Amino acid sequence: MNPLVSILIPTHNRPKYFEQALASALMQTYPNIEIVVSDNSTNNLTEQIVEKHRSHPRGSAIRYYHNSEDIGPLPNQQQILNLANGEYINYLNDDDLFHPRKIEIMMRHILSHTNVVLVTSQRRVIDSKGKRIFVPPLNTFKLLRPVDTVIDGRVLTREMLQDQTNYIGEPTTALFRRRDLLEPFGVLAGKQVLFAVDMATWFSLMTRGHAIYLVQPLSYLRYHSEQLSQSKYAKKIGELDYKTFERFAKLNGYA
């Protein structure tokens, strides 16, 4: 039996990148997926791309929603999770890409461990044209473990808190079991995180189980000038999250 996996693509005015992201979702070898698109765009270009791909052999798996107004990136991430039907979830940022076997490989691992709540992997970095960028293997891009490893959730959480580094990766990188996420995406111990929403969600999940780290790169993170993380305000907004993480650490015995 292959449980349903929801691939969630929240998007906003990036038709070129979106089409590449959507194509990588449609190419997944795992047999039971739905692709949910929640569109914040101010035009219908993304909708036109979706309609063009309806003719794909897996086009019927696409569920498209267009918001009547731009509700913002975080509300869109939270809304799209509520639209999903899958028992397992994998976000796909609209400018990132999946390896064709990403869902297949990650599902094989998570289904073989009852105490695992999420699976992550190494990822590659690409530029605006899809060419690989070689980044130093430091901080978030370092090889976390030398082989595929089940990591105790508390151990990995402590590493991330101490180093203030998201070793699990962006929303695109991880697949997780939906029932284990008890708070909205980006909410941690009842507090809304403003920037490191993915890290907040990984912490929340790992209070309920372990993570699997895979050494094979299974996703592609795109670096480009339009990223929110490249904004001049990103660092200052991120600093506001520290108090939320400190509070979480104290509540859960990490501090």
User: pLDDT tens-digit profile of 103-121?
Assistant: 999 999 999 998 999 999 9
For residue 214, pLDDT over 70 is answered with yes
For residue 235, pLDDT over 90 is answered with no
CATH number at residue 127: 3.90.550.10
Q: Structural domain tally of the chain?
A: 1
| pLDDT mean across residues, the chain | 94
Q: Which two tokens stand for residue 119?
A: 């699976």
Which residue range(s) make up the domain with 9? 5-251
Strands 124-126 and 149-151: unpaired
What is the maximum span of the chain, computed from C-alpha positions, in angstroms? 53
Q: DSSP per residue over 180-201, as a string?
A: G--S-TTEETTEE-SS-HHHHH
Per-residue model confidence (pLDDT) at position 236: 64
Per-residue model confidence (pLDDT) at position 240: 77
Residue 230: which pLDDT band, with cuts at 50, 70 and 90?
Answer: low
Per-residue model confidence (pLDDT) at position 250: 96
Q: Where does 27-168 have alpha helices with state H? A: 45-52, 73-83, 102-111, 153-163
Q: Cα–Cα distances in Å, from 223 out to 18, 26, 77, 130, 199?
A: 14, 22, 20, 9, 19
Helix or strand (DSSP H, E) at 64? strand 62-66
